[in-house]
Amino acid sequence: MHIRPYTLFSTLHPVILLGYALGAPILTMCMGNPWCLLVSFGCALVMEWFYLGEQFVWQGIRGTWLLFLLIMILNFMTNHRGMIILFQTRTRRYTLESLCYGAANGLLLCAVIFWFRCFSAVLSNQKFLYLFGRRFQTAALLLSMILKLFPETQYKITQIRMAQDDSAFQEKEALKVRLKKGMRQISCLLEWSMEDSIETADSMKARGYGAGRRGQYERYHFTSYDLGALAVMLCLSGTVIMGMVLGKITFSYYPTFTWNKEMLVWNVLICFCEAGFLLMPCWMEVIGAGGRRR
């Protein structure tokens, strides 16, 4: 699915990948400053392009613009704080501030969604299962079984439809008939899958499942390279968090747009660090390639 599954970034320890894959959306969610938010949104688009390709970016935009509008309008309609009045009805006023605030929140949601779309490209299912399985062995195995069953069950569904759907030979059927057929098919699926799964259970037992503590096949070494990458990530994201905590990049919409204008340097620095953190897979690839040439 993803166009770059074997990046340099993907060689890092899964814990770091998880840190990035969850860190990016969470950092974005805490973002109050519109500039930082724009940076995050831009980076999300770039990463989506980097991992999933141009098509996915457009697809993502098509999927989220309505949500963006919805959030914006909802905030605009229900919130009438702010100074700059756009128009007014008898009972309430509609302000530019609330419109912008709504837009910012809509953008925030879209950015978060875009970041999550990259999640499985950054942290492949196998690595996720490795991390999850360290603490939750049984649940991770269960998840792996589910992933195995997905395509198999999809195949069964096509088989069942193939076997039971004879609508091509009939007149257009009433909704009730179609519904009944749907129910019949899903019952068939249940029984078939359940019967088959009993054999899976036997196969698990035959291979000694449940005898005692399980070993683990996957192994990832945490090397000094990982440590270095982690340090860089922590530095970059730490700076952003520091800036947020210390109020260097506070931006408020109400009563009217205010931000700390003397802190422009801070703002630029923090946006820079943020982009550095969020674009890490990208720039690691660029620098890594340069290293080889030398």
Partner 1 sequence: MSVLDVKALSFAYPNGKNILHAIDLTIAEGEFILLCGPSGCGKTTLLRCMKAQIAPVGTRKGSMSDLPAKEIGYVFQNPENQIVTDTVRHELAFGLENMGLQTETIRRRVAETALFFGIDEWIDASVYEISGGQKQLLNLASVIAMRPKLLLLDEPVSQLDPLARKNFLDVLLRVNRELGIAVVLSEHHLEEMLPLADRVLFMEAGAFHYEGDAQGYVRYMKRRRAEQKKKLYGLESGISAAAEIACFWEQERKEAKVEKLPLTVREGRQYLGKKKEEGKETGQWDQQIEKIKERYRKKESVKERGTKGSRKNVCLLIDHIWFQYQKQTPFVLKGLELRIERGEFHVILGGNGSGKTTLLSILGKRLYANRGKIRLGEDRKLPRIALLPQNPKAMFSRDTVEEELQEAGCTEKLAESLGLLQLLSQHPYDLSGGEQQRLGLAMVLAKEPDLLLLDEPTKGLDGVAKKRIGDDLETYVRQGHTVLCVTHDVDFAAAYADVCSLLFEGEILSTESAQTFFEDNAFYTTDADRILRGI
Partner 2 sequence: MGICTKSIAFQIAALLLPPIFLAVMAVTAYPYAAAASIAVILLALLPFFIGFEQKKPRPRDLVPIAVMSVIASLGRALFAAVPNFKPTTAIVMITGMQFGPLAGFLTGALSALASNMFLGQGPWTPWQMYAWGLIGFLSGIAGQRKWFRRSGVLYFAGFLAGILFDWFLNLQYLIGYIRPVSWQAIVLTYTAGLGFDLVHGSSTVLFLMLLEKPWGKKLHRLKMKYGILSAQEEKGEESCI
Contacts of 160 (CB under 8 A, 6+ apart): 185, 188, 189, 192
Q: Which is nearer to partner 1, 74 or 190 (CB)?
A: 190
Taking residues 260 to 279 in sequence order and writing x for each that binds partner 1 by CB under 8 A, - otherwise, the string is: --------------------
Contact set for partner 1, span 185-224 (CB under 8 A): 185, 187-188, 191-192, 195-197, 199-200, 202-219
Residue 174 region by backbone torsions, left for phi larger than 0, else alpha for psi between -120 and 50, else beta: beta
Applying CB under 8 A, does 75 fall inside the site for partner 2?
A: yes
Q: Does 279 bind partner 2 (CB under 8 A)?
A: no
**By the rule CB under 8 A, 1 interacts with partner 1:** no
Q: Is 246 in the site for partner 2 (CB under 8 A)?
A: no
Beta strands in 64-123 (DSSP E): 85-88, 93-95
Q: Exposed, middle or buried by CB within 10 Å (0-12, 13-18, 19+), for 144?
A: middle
- 291 lies in the site for partner 1, by CB under 8 A: no
Q: Which of 38, 160, 241, 269 binds partner 1 (CB under 8 A)?
A: 160
User: Quick one: 224 exposed, middle or buried, by C-beta within 10 A (0-12, 13-18, 19+)?
Assistant: exposed
The site string for partner 2 over 202-231 (x = CB under 8 A, - otherwise) reads: x-xx---xx---------------------
DSSP notation for 21-59? HHHHHHHHHT---HHHHHHHHHHHHHHHHHHH-HHHHHH
88 near partner 2, rule: CB under 8 A? no
Q: How far is the CB of 77 from partner 2 (least distance, A)?
A: 7
Least CB distance from residue 87 to partner 2, whole Å?
A: 17
The residue ranges of DSSP E strands in the chain, in sequence order, are 85-88, 93-95, 251-252, 258-259
Q: Are 281 and 21 in contact (CB under 8 A)?
A: no
Is residue 190 a contact point for partner 2 (CB under 8 A)?
A: yes
Binding stretches for partner 2 (CB under 8 A): 25-26, 29-30, 32, 70-71, 74-75, 77-79, 101, 105-106, 108-109, 112-113, 116-117, 119-120, 125, 135-139, 141-143, 145-147, 149-150, 153-154, 157, 179, 182-183, 185-187, 189-191, 193-195, 197-198, 200-202, 204-205, 209-210
